[in-house]
Structure 1
Amino acid sequence: MPTVTSDIEIARAATKKPIFEIGARLGIASENLVPYGHDKAKVSAEFINAQSKKPDGKLILVTAINPTPAGEGKTTTTVGLGDGLNRIGKKAMICVREPSLGPCFGVKGGAAGGGHAQVVPMEDINLHFTGDFHAITSAHNLLAAMIDNHIYWGNELNIDVRRVTWRRVMDMNDRALREIVGSLGGVSNGFPREGGFDITVASEVMAILCLASDLEDLERRLGNIIVAYRTDKTPVFARDLKADGAMAVLLKDAMQPNLVQTLENNPAFVHGGPFANIAHGCNSVIATKTALKLADYVVTEAGFGADLGAEKFFDIKCRKAGLKPDAAVIVATVRALKMNGGVAKDDLGREDVEALTRGCSNLGRHVANVRKFGVPVVVAINHFISDTDAEVQAVKDYVAHLGAEAILCRHWAEGSAGIEELAWKVVEMAQSGTAKFEPIYPDDMPLMEKIEAVAAKIYHAGEVTATKAVRDQLKVWEEQGYGDLPVCMAKTQYSFSTDPALRGAPEGHVVQVREVRLSAGAGFVVAITGEIMTMPGLPRSPAAERIVLNDQGYIEGLF
C-alpha cells in the first residue's frame, strides 16, 4: 500500500504567498491589514465599515450527515469547494471557524481541512493562532472575577450567591473542572460557593463575538449578559458590575477577522469558533458579511451534522444577521454511511452496498431537513480510496430518488481539480434564484414550542419532555421580554436523537430537556438535552499523547 502523506506534511510543504498579496486580491490595502507574521493578518474595522454599501455575493453553506468515527470531511470539503470555485474562474472566499484546543488535543488532532484542501498555516491555526480564544477566555473570566469581587466587597447589588449563573471557562477538555467549589481557605478568599468550568467555545462571550456586528454592538451585548439573580430573583447584568467596557477592550482585536490562505493561495477568513453541539456552531457574522462584500461566492460551514450546525446557521445566525443562503452542500462519505447502516469501523474497508443503502436514511433525512428552510441542496461524496464504484453509484442513485444530485469529490487527494464538478453545480444552484430561505419557526412562537418545533421537524422526535421547573423558567423569560429569541439546542452530534448510539434516521424518540440557559447577550435560549456536557473530557488515549516536537523542532501528531 502506498505511503499516505499526512496533513501536516502537506501543509508544511505548501508554497504560501505573503499575506499582503492575498489581501491585495480582495482589494485590501496593506495599511488595512494587521499582520501576525508573514502568512496571517487581521482586517481592520475601518476597512470593514467602508465596504457596507457594496453588493453581496452568493452565500453557500457546507454541512454534513451526523459525524461518525469514520470521518466525513466537512471542513475539507468547504476548503476544497472554495478552491474549486476559484479554479473555474469565480471570485470565491471561504469562512470557517477557528479550532478549539480541546478537540485538537482530545480526539481530532487538528481542524483546518485535510489532504490537499487545507487552510494554512495549519499549525498556527490549530494552536494559538492570533490569540482570539485566549482573549475570549480572559474576557469571560474577568467577568467571573468581578462577580466574586463584588460579593466580597459588600455585595451592593444584593446578588444571591446561590444563584450565580456565570461559570468560568478554559479552552481545554477537563472533566475534573465541570463542578467545583471555590473561595475556600478562609475569610480573605471570599464566600465559598459551587461553580464550574465550561470549555471556551461554549462561552456566551464566544457566541457574542460571533454574532456581534461591530464593537459598539459587542459592548452592548456583553452588557446584556445575565450573570446572577438577586434574592428577589431579578437578574443581575454584566453592565451592573461595570464589566462590559473592560471586556470589550480585551476583545477589541479578537473582533477583527483573521485572513489566511488555502494551499492553493485562495483567501480565507478563519474567525470565531462556538461549538455546534453546545453553542451555535458558526464562524463570525462579521467575517461572513465582510467576505460577502469582497467575493462573488462565499463558502462557509456549520459544525457537525445538519441537525445541529445547519439548523442553528439558519435559525440563529441567518435570522439574526439578515443573511439569505443561496445553496447548501451536504457532505457524506461511503464509509460513514455504511457505519450508519450498522457496519463496524474495522469492517468499513469491505464493500457492503446493502448496509450503505440502509445508512443512506441518515443522508436522506438531512437533505429533507435542509429543504425545509427553502434552500436548494446538492450532496458531496467525499471520496476515500476504499470506496467501490458500486457503493458510489448506490449513493448517487439514492440521492437521485430524492430529486437531488450526488457528486463524487476527490479534493482531498487532488485539490481543486477533484471538485470542479461540484463547483459548477453550486454556481448553477446559486444563480438559479430558487432559494426561498425561511427559518422553521417564527420569532413570536413561545420558547417551549420553538424547542418542540426543532425536535419534531428536524429530529423527528415523538415527544419533548421537560420538568415543571424548566417550563416555568421559560415562561418567566417570556414575561421578561426574551420570548422572541431563537432556541439553541445542546444535543449530541452523533444522532438525530439524544442517544449518541442511535444512528440512521430514528423516528418517534423522546427528547429530554434537562436544563435551559438564557444567553441574553448572545440573543438565544440554550436548551440542554440528554447527557450533553458543556465541558468535554479527554478520551482514554487523547491526541495529546502523540503530539510532540521532533529532533528538527517540527510539530508531529497534528493530523
Structure 2
Amino acid sequence: MAHKTDIEIAREAQKKPIQQIGDGLGIPSEHLLPFGHDKAKVSAEFIAGLNGRENGKLILVTAINPTPAGEGKTTTTVGLGDGLNAIGKKAAICIREASLGPCFGMKGGAAGGGYAQVVPMEEMNLHFTGDFHAITSAHNLLSAMIDNHIYWGNALEIDQRRVVWRRVMDMNDRALRDVVTSLGGVANGFPRQAGFDITVASEVMAILCLATDLEDLQKRLGDIIVAYRRDKTPIYCRDLKADGAMTVLLQQAMQPNLVQTLENNPAFVHGGPFANIAHGCNSVVATTTALKLADYVVTEAGFGADLGAEKFMNIKCRKAGLAPSCVVVVATVRAMKMNGGVAKADLGQENVEAVEAGCANLGRHIGNVKSFGVPVVVAINHFISDTDAEVQAVKDYVETQGSEAILCKHWAKGSEGIKELATRVAEIADADVSNFAPLYRDDLPLFEKIETIAKRIYRADEVLADKKIRDQLREWEAAGYGDLPICMAKTQYSFSTDPNLRGAPTGHSVPVREVRLSAGAGFIVVICGEIMTMPGLPRVPSAEQIMLNEAGQIEGLF
C-alpha cells in the first residue's frame, strides 16, 4: 500500500474552528484575531492579563545531529503534544514558523509529518499570518533610513565603511551575500559595499522572539547598533528614530499564532530563527503564554542539541527565566547507521554494528543535555525499515548512558503510537527532578564563553580566533556588553565545524571567522567555519516540484 504524503494527510484533516481550539485553552473568542477559519493571533491584552498565573511544565524536544536520513524532531514534538493530551493531560505545543528559503530549497516544509502534523500545513509553510514579511519590512526600513540619513547630510557622522546593518530577505539567494549599493550617480546616494542575510538570521527576528511585550520590543529595537562613527562610537537604531515605525510594523507580528494539530490539540507557531545561524527557538511570548494556559508545554529547538538545545538553555531560558522539566532527544535507527558510516542508499538493510558505531553521536548529546542539570529521555522515531535488533541496540546503548530510550510510532499512528513516551515524560516532569542551570556565568569573559561551548559541547581542543576578533570582543566588553550570552553560527551536521565529520569527533578546532554584536537581541553571534548567514539554493531546489494541481491545490510541499 502506498503511503499518503504529508500534504495528503493534512488535506484530509478534520479541523475545528480556531475559536474552539482557543476555547479549550480558556481564550475567549474576542481575544482571538482570526486569519481565515483555522488560524488566529492571540491578543496582547489577553496575554498581559495572564501574569499572575502559575506556569505549567516545560518539555524541550531536541535531536542528534541531522543527517540526510531525517530525524523527525518537529514530528515528535507534535506527536508528544498529542500523546500527552491522549493520556488525559492538558498540553500545548510551541514550534517555530517556517522560512520560505529552505521551503523552496532543500527542506520542503516544517509542520511535522505523517499523522503528527500541525495544520493548515500549506499556509504554515508559505505566508502564514505574514509575520516574516513584517520582520523583513521592519528590518529593511531601518536599512533604508541609514542610507537615507547619510544621503541627507549625515548629521550623525556615520562612517560609511562601518555600517554593520545588512539587508534581509526570506529566500535562499547566494547572489545577494555581497553586493554594492547606491551605484548610478549622485541621486542614488554614496556607493558602499553591503549584503543580505536571510530574514530568519535578522536581529529583528531574534528580538521579536525574545521580547516580552511591545514596550520591550521597541526598547530592544532601539538598542540595535547599526553603524559606527570614525572614532568607533556606536550609532543606535534609536539615533535614527527608526524604532517607533519598526514597532508599528511588528505590532501584529508580536502576537502569537494559534493553530491545531491533526488531533485538534492547540499549537502556538510563532517566530522562526534558524538554529545554525541564529538562536533557533520559538518566541518567548508564545512559550510563556502557553505555560500559563496548559499544564504541559512541548517545544522544540532547531537542529541537533549542540545548537538548538544549547541556545535554548543558554540564551532563551536565561533571558526569559524559564527552566525545562524534561528534555527529549530524538534519534532514528537510520541516522545512527549513517553516523556509523552507512551510505544513504544502504540504510534499508539491517546493520546492528553500524547502529552501535553511530550511537556515539547520540551519547554525546545525552551527556551534553544532562550537563545543564535536566533529565533526558530518548525518543526513537520509528521508520518502517527498522528491525527489532536495531531498535534494541539503541535502547541498550542509551541505558549505558544512564538514560532510557522509548520507541515512538506517532508518524504512522498519531498519539496512539507515542503514549508510552508521553506517560514517561509526564512522570519525569511531575517529579520535579530538574536542577537546570546555564552552562556558563554571565560574568565570564566573552572569549571564555565561546571556549566553554566549544570545549564542553563540541568537545573541541581549541578555538581559533585571530587578534582582530579577540580585540573586537575586548572592545565590546569595555563598552558594557561582556555579560551577553553567545549565539554560535556553525554547521548543524557535525559537532565540529566540518559538516562531513559525523559521529562524536574529538581533537578538532573551532575556527571563528567573524563576530557580530546583536545588542538589541542581547547576544554575540560567533560565525564559525564556512557557515553562511545567507544560504544558497541546492542544484535541484524543492521549488522545481512545487505547483498547483488541476484542483487548485498545492503539490510538492512535503
Fold match, TM over 0.5? yes
Distance 1:433 1:26 in 2: 24
CA distance in 1, matches of 2:3, 2:92: 28
1:472 maps to: 471
Letter in 1 for 2:503: G
Counterparts of 1:558 and 1:106, CA distance in 2: 11
Q: Report the counterpart of residue 260 of structure 1 in structure 2.
A: 259
Aligned twin of 1:177: 176
Does 2:423 match 1:424? yes
Cα distance per residue 1:488-533 (max 9 Å; x no partner): 0000000000000000000120000110000000000000000000
Aligned partner of 2:507 in structure 1 is: 508
**Which whole-Å CA distance do the structure 2 matches of 1:56 and 1:235 have between them?**
39
- Partner amino acid, structure 1, of 2:495: F
Q: Distance in 2 between matches of 1:162 and 1:100?
A: 31
- Which residue pairs with 2:7 in the alignment? 8
CA distance in 1, matches of 2:458, 2:507: 9
How do residues 443-462 of structure 1 correspond to structure 2 at under 5 angstroms?
443-462=442-461
User: What is residue 372 of structure 1 aligned with on the other side?
Assistant: 371
**4+ aligned runs moved over 2 Å, structure 1:** none
Aligned to 1:331: 330
Corresponding residue number in structure 1 for 2:70: 71
Amino acid at match of 2:498: D
Structure 2 segments unaligned to the other structure (5+ residues): none
- Per-residue CA deviation, residues 363-399 of structure 1 (Å, 9 max, x unaligned), is 0000000000000000000000000000000000000
Percent identity reads 77
Q: Per the alignment, in what secondary structure is the counterpart of residue 60 of structure 2?
A: strand
Look up the equivalent residue of 2:408 and give its one-letter code. Answer: C
Specify the alignment match of 2:287 in structure 1: 288
User: Which residue is 1:556 aligned to?
Assistant: 555
Question: What is the DSSP-based 3-state SS (H/G/I as helix, E as strand, rest coil) of the residue aligned with 1:159?
Answer: coil
Deviation per residue, 1:120-165 (Å, 9 max, x gap): 0000000000000000000000000000000000000000000000
Distance, in Å, in 2 between the alignment partners of 1:409 and 1:433 is 24
Aligned AA (1:231) = R
Q: Tell me the residue number matched to 2:546.
A: 547
1:439 offset after TM fit, Å? 0.4
Distance 2:550 2:30 in 1: 39
Q: Which residue of 1 aligns with 2:129?
A: 130
Correspondence 1:147 to 2:149: no
> Cα deviations across residues 229-259 of structure 1 (Å, max 9, x unaligned)?
0011100000000000000000000000000
The equivalent residue for 1:62 is 61
Normalising by the residue count of structure 2, what TM-score does the alignment of the two structures yield? 1.00
Could you tell me how far 1:432 is from its partner in structure 2?
Answer: 1.2
Displacement of 1:325 in angstroms is 0.7
Deviations 1:269-314 (A, max 9, x none): 0000001000100000000000000000000000000000000000
Task: State the AA in 2 paired with 1:272.
Answer: G
For 1:28, give the aligned amino acid. Answer: I
Query: How many residues are paired up?
Result: 558
Find the aligned partners of 1:14 and 1:54 in 2 and give their Cα distance.
33
Q: Structure 2: how far apart are the matches of 1:52 and 1:350?
A: 53
- What is the letter of the counterpart of residue 357 of structure 2? R
Q: Does 1:197 align with 2:217?
A: no
Q: Deviations over 1:410-453 (max 9, x none)?
A: 00000000000000010111011110000010000000000000
Q: Secondary structure at the match of 2:159?
A: strand
SS of residue matched to 2:161: strand
- Report the residue type matching 1:462 in the other structure: D
Mapped partners of 1:494, 1:142: distance in 2:
34
Question: What amino acid is the match of 1:348?
Answer: L
Aligned-pair CA distance for 1:4: 1.0
1:169-211 deviations in Å (ceiling 9; x for gaps): 0000000000000000000000000000000000000000000
2:147 counterpart of 1:163? no
1:92-107 mapped onto 2 (5 Å cutoff): 92-107=91-106
1:98 deviates by: 0.1
Amino acid at match of 1:473: Q
State the alpha-carbon separation in 2 of the partners of residues 140 and 548 from structure 1.
30
Counterpart CA distance in 2 for 1:374 and 1:508 is 26
What secondary structure, in the 3-state scheme, does the structure 2 residue paired with 1:109 have? coil
- In 2, distance between residues paired with 1:135 and 1:195? 22
Tell me the distance in 2 between the aligned counterparts of 1:269 and 1:327: 19
Query: Amino acid of the residue matched to residue 342 of structure 2?
Result: V
Query: Structure 1 regions of 5+ residues with no counterpart?
Result: none
